[in-house]
């Protein structure tokens, strides 16, 4: 049972009080969090490097940041780039945004 006055009292005073949360963890929890973070970052880098090898492009996935490529590509669209010598140059929209 929760008393009306006790609601929200366990929340940190600042939304950026990450170090307070880290101090409250024991060593095993802290190591687990660091290991999870390292696995996520290394997985993302391996996927990125794998796409570089498969596509032959230094930037296999890019995001359209401005409206300079409209009407073919809109802001927020993801473009998948390849650098194969035998393929002709063509434009395809992979993902379109609904903003």
User: How many Cβ atoms are within 10 Å of 60's Cβ, its own excluded?
Assistant: 20
The boundaries of the domain holding residue 19 are 15-55
Selection from 61, 53, 58 nearest residue 79 by Cα: 61
Please tell me the total count of domains within the chain.
Answer: 2
Which of the four pLDDT bands, split at 50, 70 and 90, describes residue 98? low
State the pLDDT at residue 29.
86
Shared domain check, 62 and 85: yes
Alpha carbons 8 and 4: distance in angstroms, whole number: 9
- Do 57 and 82 meet the contact criterion of CB atoms below 8 Å apart? yes
pTM: 0.55
What are 70-92's pLDDT values in tens digits?
Answer: 888 899 988 888 887 776 666 66
**Is 67 in the same domain as 99?**
yes
Provide the pLDDT for residue 27.
Answer: 85
Does residue 33 lie within any of the structural domains?
yes
pLDDT value at 38 more than 50: yes
- Is the Cα dihedral 27, 30, 36, 37 positive or negative? negative
Q: Are residues 97 and 80 in the same domain?
A: yes
Average pLDDT of the segment spanning 22-44: 89
Distances from the Cα of 95 to the Cα of 32, 48, 72, 91, angstroms: 35, 18, 12, 12
Of all residues in the chain, the percent with pLDDT exceeding 90 is 23
């Amino acid at each position: 049972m929760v008393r009306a006055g006790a609601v929200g009292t366990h929340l940190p005073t600042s939304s950026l009080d990450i170090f307070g949360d880290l101090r409250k963890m024991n060593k095993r929890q802290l190591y687990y969090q660091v290991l999870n973070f390292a696995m996520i970052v290394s997985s993302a880098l391996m996927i990125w490097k794998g796409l570089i090898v498969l596509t032959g492009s230094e930037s296999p996935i890019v995001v359209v940041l401005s409206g300079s490529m409209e009407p073919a590509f809109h802001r927020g669209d993801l473009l998948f780039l390849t650098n194969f010598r035998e393929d002709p140059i063509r434009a395809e929209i992979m993902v379109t945004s609904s903003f």
